[in-house]
Structure 1
Amino acid sequence: MQKTKFVKLMQQEMVVALGCTDPVSISYVSAIANKYAGGKELKRITVSLSLAVLKNATSVIIPGTTKCGIAMAAALGVVCGDPEKQLQVLENLESKDVDNAEKIINAGMINVKQTDNNAILYVEVEVETDSGTAKAIVKDDYNNLVYVEKNGEIIIDKMKSVEQDNEEHIENKYDLNDIWEFIKTADVETDLVHVKKTIELNSEIARVGLENEVGLQVGKTLMENMEKGIKEKNMANMAICYASAGADARMSGSPTSVMSNSGSGNQGITATMSVVAAAKYLGVNKETQIRAVALSNLVSIYIKRYVGRVSVICGATTAAMGASAGMVYLLGGNKQQVEYTIKNMLGNITGMLCDGAKTGCALKVATALQAAEQSAYLAMKDIAIQPTDGVIGKSLEKSLENLEKISKDIYMIVNQSITDIMFEKEMSI
């Protein structure tokens, strides 16, 4: 694959986002529908979501607030959302906006339901005002606007083109060999500019998590324990510290933008900050750090093509698979050893399920990155789980196909069970 294609791939799959992408996507679609509806008096908001988005948008704190919930995300999109900012739609949010959103919720204007559309990632919002009704839909990606309708008149309809784009993605598959060639030959000053921006953005949210008591304080607590000598200051703990601190901040509503990976801010933070921290610990030069971060993110994107953009398998695990590849690169490993470490990860933490976006995600980031270091050091000794074992196949591609099968086979039953449990707890949506 040509360099320009990987540069474009990173620009497409590594996107700036403010807050967890599931509730933020709801705010984005609500803002679009409200814009087209017009009017001065709101009457009704109807939100229809796929099962995965329903699960992931329920418990996580909305950026710039202390609130969570699908209804709040939709209401804020109407009250203060700027649709031009896409996944930074709530960038201008103020405290008064939360109060106004709560008034809409308390007035019973919002109805939330599961869609009958079979798309895995689907957000539809219909807004009715005194001027009429408008509907907006994103599908297959959090900011992929495919449909807008106002008072029955279709304004945008890209539903069919989305299906064609998905087919093109399948035809343009690439493998680890292509990624490795790009990483080894890319020009740091031109081809990897987007990676530099990723490091800059995600370093800031890691700093927020380390310096403030946010979320579960996973990263901050680990840093304090290393400073006290309770925990050893090694590559794994440094990687865990910075990545989980970023997740702590993001999942607790920090109004700090991050560079996402494959539609997830936590995946972007995990794939980036773990490698940045490991590079600092190992004392490698800046160029090596940037190439390793690029490798980590591209491997994460590669694996997500198999498991799906929204999966029942925890995204921290796929991002940590990328991180383990980045660690091998930092340690001076070769392409074969990168493949070994991915296989070790696949045979270790594939079973970690996603039970929705929430503050506890920082703990999953920590667990996955502990495994990433173990896998990397084994790979550096040319040790890998063999194809006789579990889900591991004769090749990396076959192993990933096995992962894909698992993800698809258990998708509906696991997501439905988890969502049922969440709503049985009478959590606000």
Structure 2
Amino acid sequence: MGNLYAAALGAAVNLPDLGLEMLGCVKEEHRKQADEWVQAGLFRASVAMISSRIYIQVRVEAGDDVCTVTIRDKHTQVEEIKLNEEILCWNKIAEDALEAEGEVVPFSGPHIHDYSFQDILTYAETVPVEEMLFMRSAYEMNLELFHLGLSSKRTTFAPSLYQQNGCEVISDNDRATAQLLCNGAIEARVIGLEKPAMSIAGSGAHGIICTMPLYAVQQVRQYSEETLLRATAISYLVTQYIKEYSGRLSAFCGCGIASGTAMACAMAWMRGASFEQIVLVVNNMASGITGMICDGGNQGCTMKGIVAVDAAFRAVEFALLHVGVDARHGINGVTPEETFRQMGLIASPGMEATEKTIVEIMENKK
């Protein structure tokens, strides 16, 4: 049903140049128009395939004319526009090769995988802080979303987390504060409150988990803003590192697993962990939560976020005591890079059958 209303609202607002920000222009008349169209059965949606890649095809019929638009790999990347079988726009991105000067050059994978985990940490530790100031906006945006959720009568988890934090936004308990800030913002996001979240890897919830627990730790432990920004760089980069293996869409919870692991690494770094201890954090997170499924963006994301934040704190606390799951066990690799890759492989292709089952269960609920 959400896909139907998203399509109907897009048609009602009709400002394509705004991309995904078009929904920020929705007014009451647009909502009424979209609801009328959906209730009249003018919009239909079906599953095209099970894949970790984004694929959307829209078919619009008007009189004798039929227009189809194909989107692939990114939510705003239009690959083809066709009117009555005539191709009006073709923007094919080669899947397995890049063409350069008439030659086919094999695609070796995402550029971020050219770097090691140590490279990421070194970069975050040494890049001039002036180059990271833009990340302040992530905290400003996500905190606004959190406060909207905390004051809303529609949220249920946020008030409970607030009570668990002693009825304070920032208490002297970094874990309870992190749970409140992070998952209060996630709940506001998934129930559709009208404030944006700063996304990473195409997801607002990913971006919230990457940042809000770190802000909680920084506030409670009174670390400097520079420490927070450098930790945020680690969190964002490790998230992207894992997501390039797992794919943008998969049956595992990228918010909890990819961003949760990245945030845990960043939190450990903030608390003075050595490289070896941060690797233990990676192993602890990989062993602990990699199997968490994704069943769509919904209120359940809040509960998954709660689990991920708790797992992150535990993974860090164990690692700071030099306690962690050994590399020889389970899906852990000899190196953190190998562990990240194997976490991604669990998602894609590993959980494709799981994704099919999840979709079937959700379709049967209609």
1:186 matches 2:119: no
Structure 1 residue 88 corresponds to structure 2 residue 2: no
CA shift for structure 1 position 226: 2.0
Q: 1:404, CA displacement in angstroms?
A: 2.7
- Within a 5 Å distance, the mapping from 1:276-287 to structure 2 comes to 276-287=215-226
Aligned residue for 2:251, secondary structure, equals coil
Structure-1 residue corresponding to 2:88: 155
- Which moves more between the two structures, 156-165 or 78-87? 156-165
Distance change >3 Å, CA 155–CA 164, structure 1 → 2: farther
Residue number in structure 2 paired with 1:271: 210
TM-score (norm 2): 0.90
Check conservation: 1:239, 1:274, Cα contact below 8 A.
yes
User: Are the equivalent residues in 2 in contact too, given 1:83–1:89 (CA < 8 A)?
Assistant: yes
| Deviation per residue, 1:207-232 (Å, 9 max, x gap) | 212222334x3233111232259xx8
Report the equivalent of 1:335. Answer: 275
The change in CA–CA distance for 1:384 and 1:89 in structure 2 (over 3 A counts) is same
Q: SS of the residue aligned with 1:192? A: helix
Structure 1 residues 293 and 114: CA distance shift in structure 2, 3 A: same
Q: Is the 8 A contact 1:147 1:159 kept in 2?
A: yes
8 Å CA contact retained: 1:312, 1:415 = yes
In structure 1, list runs of 5 or more residues that go unmatched. Answer: 1-67
* 1:39 corresponds to: none
- What CA distance in whole angstroms lies between the structure 2 residues aligned with 1:119 and 1:281? 38
- Residues 230-245 of structure 1 correspond to what in structure 2 (within 5 A)? 233-245=172-184
Which amino acid counterpart does residue 2 of structure 2 have in structure 1? Answer: G
Identify which of 400, 413, 418 aligns with 2:353.
413
User: Structure 1 residues 209 and 179, CA, compared in 2 at 3 Å: closer, same or farther?
Assistant: same
Shift of 1:119: 6.6
Corresponding residue number in structure 2 for 1:204? 144
Instruction: After TM superposition, list the pairs within 5 Å mapping 1:116-131 onto structure 2.
Output: 116=49, 120-130=53-63
2:103 aligns with none
Among 285, 307, 310, which residue is 1:370 paired with?
310
Change (3 A) 1:319 1:81: farther
1:350 offset after TM fit, Å? 0.9
> What is the identity percentage for the equivalent residue pairs of Structure 1 and Structure 2?
26
> Given that residues 208 and 245 in structure 1 are in contact (C-alpha distance below 8 angstroms), is that contact kept between their aligned partners in structure 2?
no
Secondary structure at the residue paired with 1:421? helix
Asked whether 1:319 is paired with 2:248, we answer no
**CA gap 1:168/1:395 in 2 versus in 1, 3 angstroms:** closer
Match of 1:349 among 289, 293, 297: 289
- Does the CA contact (< 8 Å) of 2:252 and 2:290 recur in 1? yes
Q: What's the counterpart of residue 240 of structure 2?
A: 301
* CA-CA distance at 1:336 after TM superposition: 2.6
Shift in Å, 1:171: 5.5
Partner of 1:48: none
CA contact (8 A) 1:304 1:318 kept: yes
Are the structure 2 counterparts of residues 163 and 255 from structure 1 closer, same or farther at C-alpha, using a change threshold of 3 Å? farther
- Unaligned runs of at least 5 residues, structure 2: 99-105
Instruction: Give the SS at the match of 2:69.
Output: strand
SS in 1 for 2:24: coil
Deviation at 1:144, TM superposition (A): 2.0
- AA aligned to 1:405 is L
Q: RMSD of the TM alignment (CA)?
A: 2.2
Question: Among residues 71, 85, 101, which one is paired with 1:138 in the alignment?
Answer: 71
SS in 2 for 1:125: strand
The range that moved more, 90-99 or 398-407, is 398-407
Q: Deviation string for 1:248-274 (max 9, x for gaps)?
A: 111111121121111111000111111
Kept after mapping to 2: 8 A contact 1:300/1:322: yes
- Cα distance, 1:233 vs. partner? 4.8
Is the Cα contact below 8 Å between 2:82 and 2:88 reproduced in 1? yes
User: Alpha carbons of 1:324 and 1:171: their partners in 2 closer, same or farther (altered >3 Å)?
Assistant: closer
SS at match of 1:114: coil
Q: Measure the CA separation in 2 of the matches of 1:172 and 1:76.
A: 36
> How far, CA to CA, are the matches of 1:297 and 1:285 in structure 2?
19
Q: Deviations over 1:74-116 (max 9, x none)?
A: 1111111422221212111012212111221222222212225
Match of 1:246 in 2: 185
Give the Cα separation in 2 of the matches to 1:209 and 1:388: 43
Where 2:328 maps in the other structure, the secondary structure is coil
How many residue pairs match? The answer is: 355
- Measured against aligned partners, the alpha-carbon deviations of 1:96-141 in whole angstroms (never above 9, x if no partner) come to 2121112212222222122259673111112222483322222112
Higher relative contact order structure (alpha carbons within 8 Å, sequence separation ≥ 6): 1
Structure 2 distance, partners of 1:194, 1:169, is: 28
The whole-number CA distance in structure 2 between the counterparts of 1:81 and 1:331 is 48
**How far is 1:164 from its partner?**
4.1
Distance 1:108 1:159 in 2: 32
Do 1:317 and 1:352's aligned partners in 2 also have CA atoms closer than 8 Å? yes
